[in-house]
Amino acid sequence: MSLYERIGGEPAVDAAVDIFYRKVLADDRISHFFDTVDMDTQAAKQKAFLTMVFGGPNHYSGKDLRDGHKHMALNDIHFDAVIENLAATLKELGVGDGDINEIAAIANSVKDDVLNR
């Protein structure tokens, strides 16, 4: 069974989006990046992101990630904040530590693209 199936597939992603997005908006380190974005559009993007890190079907490419984050002047603090919120979301949903580590590793694999390094 794949990681994505183990987590619970699309319904699990749906459940995770609200929790994750709420944590991100409440996190002073990164919340200001979301002040001017449309919430529905952003929720759809978060869903695509979570699908990707859960190992589900996605079409994320390194180039998209670079282009999408280029203007934001992001650094390690911002990236780590997202990873922390992601891990806390998964814990809240009862995902096991092994799977959380696997997911964090997938997220970390795109770090250089997101930070445009």
Task: Tell me which residues touch other proteins (CB under 8 A).
Answer: 10, 14, 17-18, 21-22, 25-26, 39-40, 43-45, 47-48, 51, 57-60
CB of 58: closest distance to other proteins in angstroms?
A: 5
Token duo for residue 7: 């987590």
Q: For tokens 């619970």, what's the residue?
A: 8
Nearer to other proteins, 68 or 96 (CB): 68
DSSP state of 57: S
Nearer to other proteins, 63 or 117 (CB): 63
For residue 13, what are the contacts with CB-CB under 8 A and spacing of at least 6?
7, 47, 50, 51, 54, 56
CB of 22: closest distance to other proteins in angstroms?
A: 6
C-alpha dihedral sign at 1, 48, 30, 69: positive
Nearer to other proteins, 18 or 97 (CB): 18
CB of 36: closest distance to other proteins in angstroms?
A: 9
